[in-house]
Structure 1
Amino acid sequence: MFRENLGIRIFSLVLAVFVWVQSQLTTEHRTVVGLPVNLKSVPKNITLERLPQSIPFQVKGKGLDIIKLKLSHTKVSIDASKIQPGVDIISLTDYTIDLPENINITLLGPADQQEIAVHADVFHQKKVPVQLSYADTFTRQRFASLKFELVPDRVIVFGPKNKVQAIDFAYTEAITREMASERDFILKLNATGDDVSFSETQVRVRVSNSYNTSKVLDNLKIISEAGKSCFPSHATVKIAGDSELLKQFDPVNVKITISPEADTQGLHSLKVELPLGIELVAITPDKVRIK
């Protein structure tokens, strides 16, 4: 008997809920619904920030139609053709909402505001070099000894002028130890924000079979002006470059000359001329005295 009464009560409760839901869906209501924003006719040289995700609108209609409206993702289209750089105010008096044909809703207008504020900035672009990132110090040091090529080595960054001007490099994802042992691999460029983008999403790293190394050249003669001599008369230089270049490098290609101007102590700086692809690391001494 108890189970029979319990079953009747549960059935009655379910029936009551069903009747209530049906009543809510078929009767007319007045409520507020947040509609997504769509700004149309935005000038091509303008980028927008801090846009509102939605605007609350007062609507009137049957419960079922209101649910359909929420599920339809219907947008509010607002004319933005007159936006200027800087914080701008857009009136909500000039808007359009294209309701689906199967939704019978009356739009009563914005619920609590008659205008929205957006931040507009001038669209800007510039070219920046690609900068590699490393997972750890070991990988950084290992890669420093390798000769590699980045394709491309520079990319164009697009976005609001105030943000683009602050970007000096396009950083890649971190190179791992496993990547450093490969000869050819792809790296993604790290995103800097939703409103800033690069002309490329990734770069290719091609590692050469050769590598960068250094070499010390001793007892190189310093070239003095005719009729003059210097002390010391010879110098030692440390150079760096591609390992294949340094294997074939002849010290006679190093030209060490003396600066004509002396410092307050009467010492003249040394200048070193090297072939293309060879870099000067250090020279000892770096100054001499002319006799």
Structure 2
Amino acid sequence: MRIDGSGTLRAGCVLCPNPSPMTLDGTNTWILREPGSSGAVVVDPGPDDERHLERVARAAQEQGARIMAGLLTHRHPDHADGAPYLSELTGAPVHAVDPEVRVAGEGLQDGRTITVEGLELGVVATPGHTDDSVCFLLEADGALLTGDTVLGYGTTVIDGDDGLAPYMRSLYRLRDIVEEHGVRALLPGHGPILNEPAHALQRYIDHRESRLEQVRGAVEAGAATADEVAARVYPDVSEEIRFAALASVRAQIRYLVALGELPEGIED
């Protein structure tokens, strides 16, 4: 259950075989347990893939642990659709912010501490990727499980036209948490572990601020719709993920309009 390179003893990853342009190498399903404990927690069971979930249960059993709870970082199917089968397989409740994806579980409020057989996880609300996104602080290991708020590589999609402002606040908050709690590793929902968390978060912040500057420039150059802005800001994006680029541009336009930096007449 050791994570190579992070120095943590409490977390291990079972990678779901669902790679795609949006899921990168696949969904990271994290299994957490206090050393020596017989109880384990699963973060993000992944899609509705019975073989994957059986591998997750078997991985816990091989460590002498029983899965006692599931936690969801957010509602997207590649993280949450496996929750019912995980609960059926193990008898564990699955907790989430969104009641629609809970399975006999409870809500996850910001600041709450989840305790399972000595393991403690702090809930950190990080809306932006989705309005129900949360991260989990594993302070004992200096680790932060980030779901899709921060990925192992690349950047995340903002779900919804009004998500950029809360997303930027979430990134600033995570940057503060990394400093305040001595976080040494980010454990993302997709991609590899990030062992330089402060650098990773600053890179995310810088990237978003750079994109906003590009959107301002595109509008100043005559772009009048989200499609026209996207064509200038993301000229080389593939058709397969063009929808994601357009979603990001819409969020950026709304954000800049709200700040008064673009006129309300910009069509999005």
Q: TM-score, normalised by structure 2?
A: 0.20
Structure 1-normalised TM-score? 0.19
Larger Rg: 1
Larger fraction in helix: 2
Structure having the larger proportion of residues in strand: 1
